[in-house]
A = this chain, B = another copy of it.
Amino acid sequence: MRFTLGEKIELKRGLKDVYIDRSKVSFIDGKQGMLIYQGYNIHDLAEKSTFEETIYLLLYGKLPTQEELNKFETELRSNREIPHSVIEIINMIKEAHPMDVLRTAISALSAHDPEVKDNSIEATLRKGIRLTAQAPTIVAAHARILEGKAPIAGDPELNQAANFLYTLFGVKPDPEDAKVMDMDFILHAEHGINASAFAARVAASTDADLHSAIVAGIATLKGPKHGGAAESVTKMAMEIGEEDKASEYVTKTLKDGGRIMGFGHRVYKTIDPRSIHLRDQAKLVAERKGQPKWFQILSKVAEVMKPYEAKGVCVNVDFWTGVVYQLLDIPEKFYISIFSMGRIPGWTVQVMEQFDNNMLLRPMLEYTGSIDLEYVPIGLRK
């Protein structure tokens, strides 16, 4: 016998267009290509703000005064260090994917956080600040260990973006490079209830703590359909190899039923507003460094893909991110980790919002199997 419910079940596969809650954190208008963090347009934030100010905005819901920002930056900078045992753990699993290492190290940091069990909004905010400060230390330490170099201590004179590049490469970064990194962090800080933020909210809905929720977010962001696209775009650019082969590559790939990476989005049906800034930065950095090749290849790809805009298949945030990272000499395999560490403020504020008006996230599955198979003793089974 199969089970049948009295009424027809409406399946919401992928939870497409299902609204699960209200939020004041961010807004995406997929038709107009608009992204808002806590009331502010992403264009203003990308052009006028800093990552530190944007984190403050996300976590506190308002832009800081100079005094508030100073205090906040001090708090962030004083929390960058990670325990030596976590460095040891990174070293022990260094050959794993950087996202596996980041996930494990963040998970291990729960053993050292004095407020791990405290799920109050205030403690969750403080833990979010600590994790935001600690995550780049993990990523930079891992990258250096992989190159056989010792991790280096941060420089409290440097902001989050500059300090990340410094601890990654061991030299004080060009201020223009640091500014590009800073803008990249701003653009990646929050993006509504995409799969990783959703996973963090599902964890938080059981009253699991922030470390658990962020670990669930990182685990989810790892998927190639989510955080992995920037790396794939870079690989595609390398595969194309030179500008005048881009057109043929795109045409052939699409003809063969393949996909061009860095295009299309569940919500945006027009150009992703973040991609505009990343494209501009990619162009500037390529010119400044005298390495126009990758930018030119991707520009050609974008040009050939232009007709698909009418169908809602547009450049997304990942399309230009990869070439920016490549021009900053960041190893490909760390692209998703950088995305993750920039997203921690967004995950944190969404967990705070979830805690504030919590309800267990527990959907249903329509069962299509049998319900009355007879348990046959093992000797009689065929």
Pair A21/B365 contact, Cβ less than 8 Å: yes
Q: Which of A336-382 contact B (CB under 8 A)?
A: 359-373, 375-379, 381-382
Cβ–Cβ < 8 Å partners of A59 in chain B: none
Considering the complex, give the chain B residue whose CB is closest to the CB of A61. Answer: B369
Would A14 and B359 be within 8 Å (CB), given that A202-B198, A202-B202, A226-B206 are in contact? yes
Pair B95/A111 contact, Cβ less than 8 Å: yes
Pair B364/A193 contact, Cβ less than 8 Å: yes
Pair A371/B93 contact, Cβ less than 8 Å: no
Task: For chain A, give the interface size range.
Answer: 35 or more
Copies of this protein in the assembly total 2
The residue from B14, B26, B370, B373 contacting A205, defined by CB atoms under 8 A apart: B14
Pair B375/A195 contact, Cβ less than 8 Å: no
Pair A363/B19 contact, Cβ less than 8 Å: yes
Task: Answer whether residue A255 sits at the interface, using C-beta atoms and an 8 A cutoff.
Answer: no
The residue from B97, B225, B375, B381 contacting A45, defined by CB atoms under 8 A apart: B375
Considering the complex, give the chain B residue whose CB is closest to the CB of A213. Answer: B219
Instruction: Quote the shortest CB–CB distance from A48 to chain B (angstroms).
Output: 5
Q: Which of A89-140 contact B (CB under 8 A)?
A: 89, 92-93, 95-97, 99-101, 103-104, 107-108, 110-111, 116-117
Pair B199/A367 contact, Cβ less than 8 Å: no
Q: Contacting chain B: which of A32-40, A71-79, A178-186, A281-289? A: A32-40
| Binary B-proximity of A32-63 (CB < 8 A = 1, otherwise 0) | 00101011110011001100010000000001
User: 8 A–B contact pairs at CB < 8 A?
Assistant: A11-B19, A18-B364, A22-B365, A36-B370, A193-B362, A195-B202, A199-B203, A208-B226
